[in-house]
Structure 1
Amino acid sequence: MLFLDLLLVEKDAKQLGHGLSVLPSLENMEQFKGQPRLPKFAVPKSYGIRLKPDLTACKFAGFVSIDLDVVDHTKYIVLNAAELSVDSGSVSFTTRGISKVLEPSRIDLVEEDEILVLEFAETLPIGIGLLKIGFEGTLNDKMKGFYRSTFEHNGEKKNMAVTQFEPADARRCFPCWDEPACKATFKITLDVPSELVALSNMPIIEEKVDGHLKTVAYQESPVMSTYLVAVVVGLFDYVEDHTSDGVKVRVYCQVGKANQGKFALNVAVKTLELYKGYFAMPYSLPKLDMVAIPDFAAGAMENYGLVTYRETALLYDDQHSAAANKQRVATVVAHELAHQWFGNLVTMEWWTHLWLNEGFATWVSYLATDSLFPEWNIWTQFLDESTAGLRLDGLAESHPIEVEINHAGEIDEIFDAISYRKGASVIRMLQNYLGAEGFQRSLAAYIKRYACSNAKTEDLWAALEEGSGEPVNKLMNSWTKQKGYPAVSVKVKDQKLVFDQSQFLSSGSQGDGQWIVPITLCCGSYDVRKNFLLQSKSETLDIKEFLKDKTDAASAWIKLNVDQAGFYRVKYDEDLAARLRYAIENKFLSATDRFGILDDSFALCMARQQSLTSLLTLMGAYREELDYTVLNNLISISCKIARIVADAVPELLDYMKQFFIGLFQNSAERLGWEPKPGESHLDAMLRGDLLTALAIFGHDLTLSEASRRFQSFLEDRNTPLLPPDIRKAAYEAVMQRVSTSERSGYESLLRVYRETDLSQEKTRILSSLASSPDPNITLEVLNFLLSSEVRSQDAVYGLGVSREGRETAWKWLKDNWEHISKTWGAGFLITRFVSAIISPFASFEKAKEVEEFFASRSKPSIARTLKQSIERIHINANWVESVKNEKHLADAVKELAYRKY
C-alpha cells in the first residue's frame, strides 16, 4: 500500500499494526489548546522529509524525521499538523547520546487548533533528539497545503502536485513547527513518476530511477521557515539563464509555453544582480526556479529558491499579452525576488510583522522595476499603491500595520492593502525623509545583522536610527502601531500658513489619532521648498520668512506633500484650492502632485468634507491631462461618482456621463485605436483604459467601433484590428450592448474564452462579462463562475457587476453562500466574494440586510472584511444623501456636460 511502501524505506520504521487512529484527548492536554503560539519545550533544528504523491488517487504518504533541541523539562512535544492521518505506530523520539527510543503514551491530533500533542510516560532529556512521524494526506483542491493543480497535455487532463504553505499550511503537508521564528534546515526526498519534473527549494543531488518511479534527493537547505518550503511535481518545459556569479535561473511552465517565460527570465536575472548590489549581499542559494502554476490562489509565492506564480504573473506572450500584463510580470517577479532577502534570509518573527515582508517587497519591487524600465515612470504609478492603502486605512474597521494575531485563521485577512500598500508607502515616506543613500546603507546593515535569523519592526527602526542619527523609532511608531492616517488642513491667515492635523475617516467623522508627519511643501515653484515635522495638532509657518521674496505670497500656489511622498491627505482652504486649479490648468505641477490633489479632493468629497460640485470643477481642470497614472485615477474616480449620482439623482446621470466623455475624448482621439510605431509603454496601456471608460459611459462612436473590431477578431484571432491592449475595451463595449434579447456578443465572448489557453485572455474576458446592464445576463455570468469551466482561482475576476446587477449579485451570493464558503472558505479568496458584491451598495437598509444574513454565517477568515464592507455601504449611503441635498449641483453638472473641451 502507498503508506506502507514509503514507511518501509525508513530503517527504524515500526511494524504497522496500530492503524491510523489517534487516542482521545486528555484533560492535562487542554493547556495546549486555543493558544496562538506553540510552546517552546522543544525547537526544531533540521527536518528530513520524504513525500510520495499519488497524482492519480490525489493522495500522498510521508515520513518526517526532525532533529529537536529539547530545551526544557517536559513530557510533551507539541507541533502543528492539520488534515493529516498520523500513524501512531510510526511515532517515536530517540534521545541522542544514550540512543534511547521513547514511544508516546498518548497522541492527540487537535483539528480545531491544528496541533499534534505527543505525551510521553517519562520526562524527555534536555538536549538533541530525533522525532519520527509517518503520515498520509490528500492532495486537496483548495490551493493550500500540498494540493493538486490540473492541466491539459495532448488533449488529456492531468494533475500536478504543488505546495503553498504561506501563511500556515506546511502543517497540511507534514507535521512541523509551523511558525516563522522556528527556522530549521530541510532535506527533502521525493518519490514520483519517472517521467515528471520534480522541484524543491534546493538543487538535486541524486536521482534514482526504478521503473515507473524515481527517487529524487535534494541538497539540504539553509535555515528557513516552514512556510518557505516548496515542492512542485508535474510536466514542464523550461528556459534557462545564469547570473554573472553563476546562479542558475530557470522559468518552468506548461509544455509548449516556454517562449512565454523568456521575459520573466530576463527580468529575474537582472533583478538578482540589482538586489545583490542594493542589499550588499549576493543571493544565497545556488539556483532559482520560477514556476507557472495553472491553479494558484495568490499572485505568486516567494518560496526560497522555488518561486511559484499564477500563469498571468509569470508568462508573457508577445502576440496576445497586453502592455499591462508585461508590467505586471516585471513587478511581481521583482517583488518575489526581493523576498529572497527581505523575508527568506531575514524573516519576520511572527505574523504581526508581516508588513516587514510585504511592505518592503512591494516598495523594493518598484525600485527594481524603475531601474530596469525607467521609461515606465513606475514611481508615478506607485501612487496607485498608496491610494489603495489610503482608501482601506480610511475605514474605522482598518487595522494597524503591526496587528495582533491570535489565531492562524486570522492571518489570511491581513494580506491586504495595509500590509502591502500602506507598508510600502510608509517605507517610501521614510526613505524620502532620511535620504536614499543613508537609507540603503542602513538597510544593508540590517540584512547583514539578521541574516538567517528573525527580526521585528523595532530591529529595523534601530538599524535605520543608527545609520541616520534620526529618531526613526519615535517617528515611525505613530505610523505602524496605530491604524489610520491624518488629514493635514492648511490655510493662509495673517501672512502665516496654519497647519492642523486630524485623523481622516471616509465616514466623515474624526478619529483621535495623532502622527509625527513629515511635511514637505513648495510655493509657486519647485525651487521654493520647505520641510519640517508636524509633531502637534497645529503649527504655523511665517510665509514671508519662508518665501524670502522669491514669489508673490498673495497669488502663488502652495502644494503640500510634494510628489505625494507622505501617507496623508491634504485639505486646502478655498483660496489655496483655487490657486492649485489654476496651477493644474497651466501645467505648473508634476504628474505626482496633480494625482495627489485629485485623489485628496475625491476622498474629502466622499467623506462629505467637500461638495461634489467643487470636485467636479477640479476635475474639469484635467481636460488636457496626458499622464497615464493621473488619467487612470480620473477614470476610476469618474466611475465611482457615476454610481453615486445614479443612486442619488438619477436624472443627472446622462449629463454626468456626457461630462466624463468630454473629459476623456480628446486624450482617446490623440491615441486613436491603432498602436503607433515606437509609441511608449504608457500610451499602450492608456489607450485601452480610455476606450474602456468611453464604452462604459456609453460613447456611441466607441461602442460601434469596438463592435466592428470585435467582429473582425471573431473571424481572425490574429487581426491587427484588435491588439491585446484594447481587447478589454472591446469586450466591455460588447457587453454594454448585451441583453436577454440580444445575446450574440455574450455568446461570442464565451466562445473566445473556451478556445483560448492563455490565462491572461481568460481573465480579461471574465472581468468584462459581468458588466452587462441586464440583470438576467449578470445572473448567467455569476453562475458560469461556479462552473467547471472557470478555475477556482479565477472566479473572483467576474464579480465586478454593473450597478444594475447589484441586487442580482447579492441574491446569488446568498443563494450560493454554502457552496462558495465550502469551495473558497479555506483561503483569502473568500473575502473577494464578500467585498466585491457587498461594498458597492449605498443604502442603510442594505447594510442591515447584510448584517442580518451574516449574523450566523461569519467566521474569523471573513470577519474583518465583512465589517469593512458594511462600513463602505454606510459611507456610500451617507454620500448619496449628501449629494441628494447639494445645492447648485444640477446647474454645475449641466454646465460641465455642455462645455466644449
Structure 2
Amino acid sequence: MSDSTANRLPTNVRPKHYDLTVVTDLVNSTFYGTVKVKLDVQEQTSQIIFHTKDLELYQLVVYSDVLGIGQTAASTSFDTKTERAIVTLSTALPASSKAVLDVRFTAGLTDSLIGYYRSVGGTDAKDICSITQFEPTSARQALPCWDEPLLKATFAVTLISRADTVNLSNMPIVSEVGYATGLDAWLDGRLANSNDQWKMTRFETTPPVAQVSFASLLNFDSFADVYIFVGVREWSFCVSGKLLHESSERENPTAAFAGFALDVKRQALVLYEQVFQIEYPLPKLDTLVVSDFDANAMENWARSPSESGLITGRNSAFLLDPKAESLNVKRQIATTVTHEVAHMWLVLFSDTVLFGNITTMEWWDNLYLNEGFATLMAKVTILGEEQYQI
C-alpha cells in the first residue's frame, strides 16, 4: 500500500458507533438530521476532525464520560480542499476516555448521483425517490462522518418521512410508527412547519461497517414507478433450504421485467455455495432498481443471519423487457447480477476472509482487490453458460 497518511484523518479519536436520524423531504428536495457519534479517545486532544461536504452543520456538542460535561465547540472551521470539519474544544478530552460528538445537519437532495440524492423516473418524471451512493468518498455528503474504509463502526438508523412513502435500509425494520414530538427538539421545530403526516422507521443496528458499505437511506413515494425485487418482500426463491416468500407476475406486473435478473441471482447464489462450500449466510438479498444511479450497481452488505444484504442499481442494469430482449442485453444483466452477488460472498480460507464485504481495503488504492474478485467471479460464472458465449 502506498504511503497516503498525509491524506488520512488524525488518529486521536476513532468512531465506534453512529446513531443516525434522517428526515427526508421529497416534496422540497431536502434532508436534515442528527447524528451522535460514539468515539474512543486514543490520545489527549482538544480537536476532533471529521469529513463533511455540502452539509450545513448546527449545534455541535461533545460529551465526555470522564469530564462529565457537554462542551459546545469553541470554534468550528472547514477545509474545503480536504472536505474536513475541525472542531476545537475549550477543555481537552483525556486519553483512553469515551466521547460523543452530537451534530445537526441539513442539505439539499441534488441530482448529482452521489451522496444522498434524488432519482427521478417514470414517463411523466413524477416518480421521485431518494437514494445513497457512497463509494468511494461520498458518505460525507450525507452525514458528518469518518469517511475512510478502515474506520469501521456500527450504525443505528432511523428514517423519518411522509406517511405515504416507503423507507429501506441495509437492515431489517425494527419498528415503524407515526412521528410524535419529543425525539429531538431541533427536529420537532423543523417538522412543526409541515401540515403533513410523518412516520418514523427504525432499523436494526448494523455490524461494524465502513461508510462505503453502509448505505441505503432509501425513501420513495409508495405510488411511484420504482422497481423493487426483494428477497422476502416481492420475488423470492428457496436458497439453502430457506423457503422465502413467493409472488407471481399477476400480483406485480413489473415481475416480468425483473424475472430474468431474479433467475440469474437465484442461480448465482446456488452456484457460489457449491464453489465455496459455504452457505449464503443471510436470510435475503434485496435489489432496488431506480432510474438514476451513478454506478451500474452497488452492493451494500450486512453479515449475520438476522441482517440483510441490499443491491442498488439502475433500471438498465437489471430490467429486461421480454418483448425486446437480446442476447447481448441478457449477457450484460447476467454479468452485473453475478458481479454484485459475488461481492456478498464470504470467501473463507484458514479463518481469513478475502475480498468480500466482511473485509474492507485499508485505503482506496486497494479497491481493485475487491472489484477484481467480483469481476473474476462474474466472468467465470458467465463463461459457464453456453448461451452467453461470444
1:60 counterpart SS class: strand
The partner residue of 2:337 within 333, 352, 360 is 333
Provide the C-alpha distance between the structure 2 equivalents of 1:224 and 1:165, rounded to a whole number of angstroms: 13
The partner residue of 2:236 within 211, 233, 241 is 241
What is residue 643 of structure 1 aligned with on the other side?
Answer: none
Equivalent pair of 2:235/2:255 in contact (CA under 8 Å) = no
Deviations 1:350-369 (A, max 9, x none): 11101101111100112233
Residues 1:313 and 2:317 are matched in the alignment: yes
* Inter-CA distance 358–212: structure 2 relative to 1 (3 Å threshold): same
Provide the C-alpha distance between the structure 2 equivalents of 1:111 and 1:77, rounded to a whole number of angstroms: 16
Q: Give 1:868-883 correspondences, 5 Å limit.
A: none
The partner residue of 2:362 within 327, 349, 368 is 349
Alignment length (residue pairs) = 338
What is residue 216 of structure 1 aligned with on the other side?
Answer: 201
Q: Give 1:543-554 correspondences, 5 Å limit.
A: none
Letter in 1 for 2:32: A
Equivalent pair of 2:75/2:89 in contact (CA under 8 Å) = yes
The partner residue of 2:114 within 117, 135, 144 is 144
Letter in 2 for 1:320: A
Hey, which of these two has a bigger chunk of strand by percent?
2
The partner residue of 1:108 within 55, 67, 77 is 77
Would you identify which runs of 4 or more consecutive aligned residues in structure 1 move more than 4 Å? 247-251
What do you get for the CA RMSD once the two structures are aligned?
2.3
* Inter-CA distance 92–281: structure 2 relative to 1 (3 Å threshold): farther
Letter in 2 for 1:149: S
Provide the C-alpha distance between the structure 1 equivalents of 2:245 and 2:263, rounded to a whole number of angstroms: 9
Provide the C-alpha distance between the structure 2 equivalents of 1:124 and 1:344, rounded to a whole number of angstroms: 34
What is residue 555 of structure 1 aligned with on the other side?
Answer: none
Letter in 1 for 2:388: W
1:295 counterpart SS class: coil
Equivalent pair of 1:202/1:287 in contact (CA under 8 Å) = no
Letter in 1 for 2:205: E
2:375 counterpart SS class: helix
Residues 1:272 and 2:269 are matched in the alignment: yes
Equivalent pair of 1:73/1:124 in contact (CA under 8 Å) = yes
Once the two structures are TM-superposed, the CA of residue 190 in structure 1 deviates from its matched residue by 0.4
Residues 1:290 and 2:287 are matched in the alignment: yes
Equivalent pair of 1:248/1:288 in contact (CA under 8 Å) = no
Q: Give 1:45-124 correspondences, 5 Å limit.
A: 45-87=16-58, 89=59, 91-96=60-65, 99-124=68-93
Equivalent pair of 1:41/1:73 in contact (CA under 8 Å) = yes
Provide the C-alpha distance between the structure 1 equivalents of 2:151 and 2:113, rounded to a whole number of angstroms: 24
1:329 counterpart SS class: helix
Equivalent pair of 1:144/1:165 in contact (CA under 8 Å) = yes
Residues 1:159 and 2:128 are matched in the alignment: yes
Larger displacement relative to structure 2 (355-364 or 125-134): 125-134
Provide the C-alpha distance between the structure 2 equivalents of 1:249 and 1:269, rounded to a whole number of angstroms: 14
Provide the C-alpha distance between the structure 2 equivalents of 1:250 and 1:309, rounded to a whole number of angstroms: 22
The partner residue of 2:327 within 318, 323, 330 is 323
* Inter-CA distance 343–115: structure 2 relative to 1 (3 Å threshold): farther
Once the two structures are TM-superposed, the CA of residue 98 in structure 1 deviates from its matched residue by 5.6
Provide the C-alpha distance between the structure 2 equivalents of 1:179 and 1:191, rounded to a whole number of angstroms: 27
Letter in 2 for 1:308: T
Once the two structures are TM-superposed, the CA of residue 346 in structure 1 deviates from its matched residue by 1.6
* Inter-CA distance 248–273: structure 2 relative to 1 (3 Å threshold): same
Larger displacement relative to structure 2 (284-293 or 297-306): 284-293
Equivalent pair of 2:66/2:97 in contact (CA under 8 Å) = no
Residues 1:259 and 2:282 are matched in the alignment: no
| Structure 2: runs of 5 or more not aligned | 180-195, 302-308, 346-354
The partner residue of 2:218 within 232, 257, 268 is 232
Once the two structures are TM-superposed, the CA of residue 46 in structure 1 deviates from its matched residue by 1.2
Once the two structures are TM-superposed, the CA of residue 292 in structure 1 deviates from its matched residue by 1.0
| Structure 1: runs of 5 or more not aligned | 1-33, 378-627, 629-901
Deviations 1:136-183 (A, max 9, x none): 011111100000111237x56132101110010000000111011011
Letter in 2 for 1:146: Y
TM-score by length of 1: 0.36
* Inter-CA distance 249–202: structure 2 relative to 1 (3 Å threshold): farther
What is residue 135 of structure 1 aligned with on the other side?
Answer: 105
Once the two structures are TM-superposed, the CA of residue 325 in structure 1 deviates from its matched residue by 1.1
Equivalent pair of 2:73/2:89 in contact (CA under 8 Å) = yes
Deviations 1:211-263 (A, max 9, x none): 73211111111111101222221144543214225386999xxx853321122
2:376 counterpart SS class: helix
Residues 1:43 and 2:14 are matched in the alignment: yes
Deviations 1:711-730 (A, max 9, x none): xxxxxxxxxxxxxxxxxxxx
Equivalent pair of 1:44/1:184 in contact (CA under 8 Å) = yes
Residues 1:365 and 2:378 are matched in the alignment: yes
Provide the C-alpha distance between the structure 2 equivalents of 1:77 and 1:213, rounded to a whole number of angstroms: 34
What is residue 141 of structure 2 aligned with on the other side?
Answer: 172
Letter in 2 for 1:323: L
TM-score by length of 2: 0.81
Hey, which of these two has a bigger chunk of helix by percent?
1
Q: Give 1:805-824 correspondences, 5 Å limit.
A: none
Deviations 1:753-805 (A, max 9, x none): xxxxxxxxxxxxxxxxxxxxxxxxxxxxxxxxxxxxxxxxxxxxxxxxxxxxx
Provide the C-alpha distance between the structure 2 equivalents of 1:222 and 1:250, rounded to a whole number of angstroms: 28
Once the two structures are TM-superposed, the CA of residue 343 in structure 1 deviates from its matched residue by 4.2
Provide the C-alpha distance between the structure 2 equivalents of 1:247 and 1:184, rounded to a whole number of angstroms: 32
Letter in 1 for 2:206: S
The partner residue of 1:201 within 170, 176, 186 is 170
Once the two structures are TM-superposed, the CA of residue 270 in structure 1 deviates from its matched residue by 2.6
Deviations 1:818-872 (A, max 9, x none): xxxxxxxxxxxxxxxxxxxxxxxxxxxxxxxxxxxxxxxxxxxxxxxxxxxxxxx
Equivalent pair of 1:250/1:265 in contact (CA under 8 Å) = no
Provide the C-alpha distance between the structure 2 equivalents of 1:97 and 1:193, rounded to a whole number of angstroms: 40
Provide the C-alpha distance between the structure 2 equivalents of 1:43 and 1:247, rounded to a whole number of angstroms: 41
* Inter-CA distance 37–260: structure 2 relative to 1 (3 Å threshold): same
Q: Give 1:600-615 correspondences, 5 Å limit.
A: none
* Inter-CA distance 249–192: structure 2 relative to 1 (3 Å threshold): farther
Identity %: 34
Equivalent pair of 1:249/1:288 in contact (CA under 8 Å) = no
1:45 counterpart SS class: strand
Provide the C-alpha distance between the structure 2 equivalents of 1:249 and 1:165, rounded to a whole number of angstroms: 30
* Inter-CA distance 76–292: structure 2 relative to 1 (3 Å threshold): same
Equivalent pair of 2:121/2:290 in contact (CA under 8 Å) = no
Letter in 2 for 1:213: W
Equivalent pair of 2:256/2:322 in contact (CA under 8 Å) = no
Provide the C-alpha distance between the structure 2 equivalents of 1:283 and 1:123, rounded to a whole number of angstroms: 47
Once the two structures are TM-superposed, the CA of residue 199 in structure 1 deviates from its matched residue by 1.0
Equivalent pair of 1:49/1:64 in contact (CA under 8 Å) = yes
Equivalent pair of 2:36/2:100 in contact (CA under 8 Å) = yes
Provide the C-alpha distance between the structure 2 equivalents of 1:246 and 1:348, rounded to a whole number of angstroms: 32
* Inter-CA distance 249–100: structure 2 relative to 1 (3 Å threshold): farther
* Inter-CA distance 99–68: structure 2 relative to 1 (3 Å threshold): same
Structure with higher Rg: it is: 1
**Bigger relative contact order, structure 1 or 2, given CA contacts below 8 A and separation 6+?**
2
